[in-house]
Amino acid sequence: MSTPQTMNDPSGAEHHGCLSRMSTDGAMDLEQKCMLNHCITHGSSFLAVTILGEDVASEVCSSARGFYIGCTDDQGPVARDSAEYWTTCIEAQKALDDHEWTQRLHP
């Protein structure tokens, strides 16, 4: 995997690593691309915005399959944003912090 760029890079190059690792099932329209850019910049869950229309922070979540990057609300899991699962919470948190994970575009 490539070395992640920092979020402070004013050139916008920080998004290249995240965008190059997206898991796509087809072309994205301009609105989806803008929303994805917003989510990467602000650490929000792209799928929560897509499903709920709410800006919810991405976090490490867990399931029987392992740890993943997604989001929850007061009722439980809302979305699994990462294509990957990790065996430990520490590995998943590092992937989230370093922007080294693959964004799912569809639930």
Q: Which band of pLDDT confidence, cut at 50, 70 and 90, is reported for residue 39?
A: confident
Phi-psi region of 95 (alpha: psi -120 to 50; beta: other; left: phi over 0): alpha
Identify the domain containing residue 91 by its residue range.
14-98
Number of domains making up the chain: 1
Measured in degrees and rounded to the nearest 5, phi and psi for residue 53 equal: 75, 20
Measured in whole angstroms, how far is the alpha carbon of residue 12 from the centre of its chain?
17
Q: Is residue 107 part of a domain?
A: no
Q: Is residue 45 part of a domain?
A: yes
Q: Is residue 46 part of a domain?
A: yes
Q: Is residue 6 part of a domain?
A: no
Q: Which band of pLDDT confidence, cut at 50, 70 and 90, is reported for residue 54?
A: confident
Q: Is residue 9 part of a domain?
A: no
pLDDT at 91 over 80: yes
Q: Is residue 3 part of a domain?
A: no
pLDDT at 22 over 60: no
CA distance 40 to 36: 6
Secondary structure class of 86 (helix, strand, coil) = strand
* % of the chain residues with pLDDT over 70: 71
Q: Which residue has better confidence, 25 or 34?
A: 34
The pTM of this model reads 0.68
